Structure 1
Amino acid sequence: MNFAYPAIAAALLAMPLAAHAQSTAEDKVAADTAPPPAITVTGSVAIASDYRFRGVSQSDQEMAVQGGITIAHDSGFYIGTWASNLGGWGTFGGANMELDLIGGYKAKLADNATLDAGLTWYVYPGGADKTDFAEPYVKLTGTTGPATLTAGAAYAPKQQALGRWYRTGADAAAGVYTNPGAKDDNLYLWGDGALAIAGTPLTAKAHVGHSWGQDGLGPNATAVSPTGSYWDWSLGADATWHNLTLNLSYVGTDISNRDAAYLRPSFSKGQDGAGNIAGGTILASLTAAF
């Protein structure tokens, strides 16, 4: 019996299957070794029990909904935006919203060190005149094992949004500018630390910062550094599951009721002249990244 023809036929049938298997393997290798895309888009949405900016509540100690998006190029340049609702002290007005427009450049100094420099433009859509301001920043981040450390500086040059337009909170409540058009600058230095806890979804986090700026209230009866000079800090932890992060932190400042007395009623919950919106509190937030 001649087995040549069946053998040849079987070989011919096997050739496409072998070619397909080889092609699939090659495609997988190519996918694994393909360079990352030149442009990446990342973002997040969050809900927080309070919006604290450098230790001071910007949402009248009420919940805040926040979100942002960043577009980054593999050259290191990036642009982004971030937004949150506002409420409480001063007169944010308009949409009662903060909209941050961000642009910068990240440079890799080493495998475990990155330098990031850019500018944030703080915008309050439809709010009081002269409240928007620009603030350049620079920060250095390094990692060692499970620990990440960041040191940063943000300096906003003289602008009307940072000037002392009201001497006191009483002047602001009466709607009487005591020094309209005043300009001032602001310096903020900070340090952050994060430590991933091995074998758990937890990351311990700490922050400390110091502000130097105007000593009083700006054109919207708020201020980046309301008492001129103060410390803020936080201590807490992240718990991460897939793209969700739950954070619990204790946040506080060294602004006492006595320090803030001359800023009231603006600098208080509900502008009632009582509660300290820079007092220590526990904050909770839930963030979804995409």
Structure 2
Amino acid sequence: MRTSDKTKFGFKTRSSLFGISAALLASVATPALAQEEESSITISGNAAVTSDYRFRGLSFSDGDIAIQGGIDVSHESGFYIGTWGSSIEDSATFGHTELDIYGGWSGEVTSGITLDVGLLYYTYPNGEGGAAGPSDYFEPYASVSGTVGPVEVTSGIAYAWSQSSLGNSDNVYIYTGLSAGIPDTPITLNANIGINEGSLGNPAGILGVDDYVDWMLGVDFAVTDNLTATLAYTDTDAPAINNFTDSAIVFTLGVSF
């Protein structure tokens, strides 16, 4: 399933919607069934503070600090559901909060190759929408990952079909990411490149172009088993707009639990 690392690849950390329901289910089950539920369902969470919320090379926090976090619930069969949220730059259209809800399946489809497919719903609970209608939209996604020597390679696609919130136009994002740990150190190196084509590449007509390329180079430092510090350089070939599409060095401190 997609983990918090996928923020580097143009996605966001995912978490779960029904963690409380799963816990309640286990509490009212018979002892044997409760034990089975605990062994087949995994609940995990994450939280982070970042100097700039960058998504596919674009700043959603206007170059300011953002607070993020979420919860994931996964089943041993590979199915998962989750939710993730972040503070964003306050605006009438989107409000000051983004909340993502998602679900899908992830698993090894052949030796060394993992497939992840699902549907993500972007929602802005305190936004008023824009001239095109509501701000919320759906985006199916799929990715495959494997290893080449010491390097983990992930390639994927996300496609948002024509929706009123997207100006009745569609959008596709294709990306490839690389990740490799340095042996006997707490350091992992990351790189990513993505291509965006469609309405999401030109929000509110700001950029004047619908297509752009973004890329990222970063390094993770595992402070502890649960605490990670990340430093990343991100940039795009879109028209330069300060605190939106311009290059940036982003620092993130994240914890998983």
TM more than 0.5: yes
Q: 1:185 aligns with which of 170, 173, 187?
A: 170
Q: 2:45 aligns with which of 31, 43, 63?
A: 43
1:173 maps to: none
Superposed, which structure 2 residues align to 1:93-104 within 5 Å? 93-94=94-95, 96-104=96-104
State the SS of the aligned residue for 1:87: strand
The amino acid across from 1:53 in the alignment is F
Q: 1:214 aligns with which of 192, 199, 209?
A: 199
State the SS of the aligned residue for 2:183: coil
Give the distance between the partners of 1:276 and 1:288, measured in 2 at CA.
26
Larger radius of gyration: 1
**Matching of residue 154 in structure 1 with residue 137 in structure 2:** no
Contact kept, 8 Å, 1:215 with 1:226, in 2: the verdict is no
Contact kept, 8 Å, 2:62 with 2:243, in 1: the verdict is no
| Greater strand proportion | 2
2:221 maps to: 239
2:254 maps to: 287
Segments of 5+ residues of structure 1 without an aligned counterpart are 1-33, 164-182, 258-267, 269-274
Runs of 4+ in 1 over 2 A off after TM superposition: 90-94, 143-146, 214-218
Q: 1:106 and 1:208, CA in 2 relative to 1: closer, same or farther beyond 3 A?
A: same
**Matching of residue 256 in structure 1 with residue 239 in structure 2:** yes
1:192-247 Cα offsets, whole Å, 9 max, x none, are: 110010010000000100000028865xx478x87200000100110012211100
TM (norm. structure 1) is: 0.70
Q: 2:78 aligns with which of 76, 79, 84?
A: 76
The amino acid across from 1:233 in the alignment is W
1:117 maps to: 117
Contact kept, 8 Å, 1:232 with 1:253, in 2: the verdict is yes
Contact kept, 8 Å, 1:216 with 1:226, in 2: the verdict is no
1:229-283 Cα offsets, whole Å, 9 max, x none, are: 00001001100122111000100000123xxxxxxxxxx5xxxxxx251111100
Give the distance between the partners of 2:248 and 2:239, measured in 1 at CA.
14
Percent identity of paired positions between Structure 1 and Structure 2: 41
Give the distance between the partners of 1:116 and 1:255, measured in 2 at CA.
29
Q: 1:44 and 1:212, CA in 2 relative to 1: closer, same or farther beyond 3 A?
A: same
Question: What's the CA shift for 1:138?
Answer: 0.2
Q: 1:216 and 1:155, CA in 2 relative to 1: closer, same or farther beyond 3 A?
A: closer
CA RMSD of aligned residues (A): 2.3
1:131 maps to: 135
1:19-62 Cα offsets, whole Å, 9 max, x none, are: xxxxxxxxxxxxxxx9x820001111000000011101000100
Contact kept, 8 Å, 2:166 with 2:200, in 1: the verdict is no
